[in-house]
Amino acid sequence: MAHIPSMTDTSFNAVMNLLRARDVIEERIAGELASVHGLMLKEAMLLMHLEGAPLGRLTRVELAKRLHSSASTVTRMATPMEKLGLVSRQSDDRDARLAFVVLTKAGQIKITEARATLAKQADDLFQDRWQEGEIEALSGLLARLVAGAPGRLA
Amino acid sequence: MAHIPSMTDTSFNAVMNLLRARDVIEERIAGELASVHGLMLKEAMLLMHLEGAPLGRLTRVELAKRLHSSASTVTRMATPMEKLGLVSRQSDDRDARLAFVVLTKAGQIKITEARATLAKQADDLFQDRWQEGEIEALSGLLARLVAGAPGRLA
DNA sequence: TCATAGTGCTTGCAATCGGAAGTACTATGG
DNA sequence: CCATAGTACTTCCGATTGCAAGCACTATGA
């Protein structure tokens, strides 16, 4: 029933483990982020991208690229976040097509709090029998794997 | 605008890199899998789980656990795959509640082909400046991170 | 035995997503 | 100047998802 092993198994297994790891970690993180801060994971990601951007703002298409989602999704994400006061809308004088999503003070506070929760969750993940160097190695290998692709934070 | 660094940054960055890596890799893989084999990534995962299961079959709830999705999703995934002949439905004599999803011969062929494509894609991902040992290290660290969680393949 | 609790599956419902189409605006090149 | 092409955003539509509810069946224990 099992397939025949081959040279490509190492890469294949690495990819499978990566897919699974994301599922497991996202399950673990998303619940607490929602209950504690009322944020979906990707909403937190949106805020973090704004946080690191010049003037704390990005266009919707740029956010879509970084979040690996469509422009329509970003539009629909931003609307309720505006109503909550986490972001605001700002148009550009030079180009009337642009509608920046801008991080507000309330959004800054919210993402700072949410990041603390995320950092704590991340620490918990590596709490048992992980050494600092191992975590750095994992992080570095992952970063290298997706080097050049859009969406990097920090 | 950037947050204050702390001891937890290593874990945090590793988690962020993991989330991003999954996005990038899934984008890259899903398209080819769909165009070449007409399969969504999670459909391929479903078939692979069946492939490794005793008698080539699993109940819907067990599949849901392994795929990190809900039972209703598995039900709705299985229906069109039955019509394509990739899986069939089989009830249990001992327990009339159980409705196994069974891998058919056509499903076996399909997943064998799809796995070859996946393996090739995985190889491409690591093609440039990756050594076998580094890929194994990444795979091992990821496996260790999610040890004990459901959904492991092979 | 038989009421109660638990499990497996399906369906209804609301929420979410991506792509296509539409609108508005900007850039390009004669 | 102006036609054409390209970009940014929004909205509509179909598809997908999880949760809650419902149904059918099994296990428990008095």
What are the angstrom distances between the C-alpha of A20 and each of A54, B5, B64, B79? 34, 29, 13, 24
Structural contact between residues B142 and A125, judged by C-beta atoms closer than 8 angstroms: no
Structural domains of chain B sorted by starting position, each given as residue range(s) with its CATH number in brackets:
25-124 (1.10.10.10)
Check CB contact under 8 Å for A135 and B2. no
Instruction: For CA atoms B94, B95, B99, B100, give the dihedral sign.
Output: negative
The answer to whether residue B11 scores a pLDDT higher than 70 is yes
At B140-150, the pLDDT tens digits run: 999 999 988 88
pLDDT band at B3 (very low <50, low <70, confident <90, very high): very low
Residue range A76-87: mean pLDDT, rounded: 98
Closest chain B residue to A10, measured at CA: B136
**Chain A 9-48 residues in 7 Å CB range of strand D:** none
Provide the pLDDT confidence category of residue B4 given band limits of 50, 70 and 90.
low
Closest-CA distance of chain A to residue B24, Å? 7
8 Å CB contact between B64 and B70: yes
Tell me the per-residue pLDDT of B67-115, one tens digit each, with 9 for 90 and over: 999 999 999 999 999 999 999 999 999 999 999 999 999 999 999 999 9
